[in-house]
Structure 1
């Protein structure tokens, strides 16, 4: 079986599209289509189901990808570093949410005394980072959703506790001492600071703790939780933030916790790799370093 055909096949499987695979491989789409058809003729079985948007692997296609991908990745490792070359500095491509990656993941990796890789980071939401990982753009991804299927392997990293906060003046105006565990009426007239118009953090908190939906739309929207914290400290309104991100502001009194529910809302982070790639030393080293650091994050 031609290794070039297998490489094209694995790239299509990861990208979920002939067009995206062609871009990754530097080939034309007709060339990719022709190679996949040649491989299907050799095997006598269809490998993909063609759809309006992209392709879906057949059972045979999934089986072949899971067998072939780790070995092809290992061959790429050898080709890039040379056999027996332990001195080459490999580059780890890491992707994850901007705040968590910047505040926790990158310091943990760069503070690892045994670091043996160069590092390139990119930011995005879970859907974006997992798509990029599957397509081969990243080596390691941090996400808040466990991926489906066997192409990607996820390991729980840590849980993130969410806290409802505001500047001290807003807490006084709202009379939060009257706030009950299941009644958010005292907060209805407070302005809201969020990362998106859909209020992903506030809505999750309200639904989990108060069994209700937020009453007010966002007054300030900033697509970075660090900016949300800065706006909250400046008095823009209430916000729901990860405890690790606002712990310093809480200690200094820049913001106060408006609520202390018996069971605070949590969000779980996962470390995700393409199945089989933990055999690569630089990916395994980074994976291990993050899991070790996360022990202190929970």
Structure 2
């Protein structure tokens, strides 16, 4: 199945009926607790779980089909599959896990939006996910990882212009005169900041919409306008003077990051090590 690609190509090669092959795949999913293939409109696509499983029998099976004397390929440790939004991976997850690589742990990293990643974790695609909220349901384990502050920031030139506006003393009004940069049209971080800090609904529209928070950071630092960003992502820019705060409340909005582990991962020693490494790094911060 893994080598043939679509079910329709594998069935004739196996000499079995399609219902039989489908039943075997479902049995495999139940036995491993992981989904080996993603169903597509046309055919299937192997998941990381399929890549891992395929490594194990490849050597012995190829040796059976090869000329006499050809030996199986050496076995390999199963990789750990961490995942999360791109900025959390780069700022928090990868720096924490890199020391494990020297000890022989292999990493296969995926990025994406929290909701799809959590759903994929339930099917076994990812071993660990750094998420911005706790998952629903009881079939995955999650633990608090770290607190994340959110800051209202802009390039220094925009911060100076906002401070000089007649309504600058009205902290709700000043940012309205500065273009808004965001990664989503519904403005989740900006809306939450204004609701939590200013006690008002946000009604302005974005001047610039980009795909990721990294792109927001780049656009804001280049002078496109203001935005709300996690402190871990923009602290270096604040320290260097490339960004300036538009507002400094007594208590910045805080979100708790969580570390989610896939069902059954407690039996994988490398996943357990990665999880504990994450938690130690978070405590160190």
Length-normalised TM-score, structure 2: 0.73
State the partner residue of 2:109. 121
Q: Which runs of 4+ in 1 moved over 4 A?
A: 3-11, 22-26, 176-180
What SS class does the counterpart of residue 226 from structure 1 fall into?
helix
Size of the aligned set, in residue pairs, is 239
The structure 1 residue matched to 2:93, chosen from 96, 99, 105, is 105
CA distance in 1, matches of 2:164, 2:253: 19
* 1:272-294 Cα distance to aligned partner (Å, 9 max, x none): 11233222101001101111111
Partners in 2 of 1:269 and 1:110 — Cα distance?
A: 20
CA offset digits 1:229-261 (Å, max 9, x no partner):
111111110111111111111111111111111
Given the superposition, is the C-alpha separation of residues 25 and 123 from structure 1 closer, same or farther in structure 2, using an over 3 Å criterion? closer
Structure 1 residue aligned with 2:191: 203
Which residue of 135, 138, 145 corresponds with 1:157?
A: 145
Structure 1 residues 205, 275: closer, same or farther in 2, change over 3 A?
same
| Unpaired segments ≥5 residues, structure 2 | 1-23, 48-52, 58-74
Equivalent-residue separation in structure 2 for 1:133 and 1:24 (angstroms): 17
Deviation, 1:224, is 1.3
Alignment of structure 1 residues 190-229 onto 2, 5 Å: 190-229=178-217
TM-superposition CA deviations, 1:174-219 (whole Å, max 9, x none): 1179756x84112212100111111111111111111112242111
Deviations along 1:132-174, one digit per CA (max 9) or x if unpaired, are 1111211111111211222100011111111110111111111
Query: 2:123 maps to which residue?
Result: 135
CA RMSD in angstroms comes to: 3.4
What TM-score comes out, normalization by structure 1 length? 0.70
List gaps (5 residues or longer) in structure 1. 27-75, 81-86
The change in CA–CA distance for 1:283 and 1:175 in structure 2 (over 3 A counts) is: same
Q: Residue by residue, what CA displacement relative to the aligned partner does 1:43-77 show, whole Å, maximum 9, x if unpaired?
A: xxxxxxxxxxxxxxxxxxxxxxxxxxxxxxxxx8x
- Residue in 2 that maps onto 1:91: 79
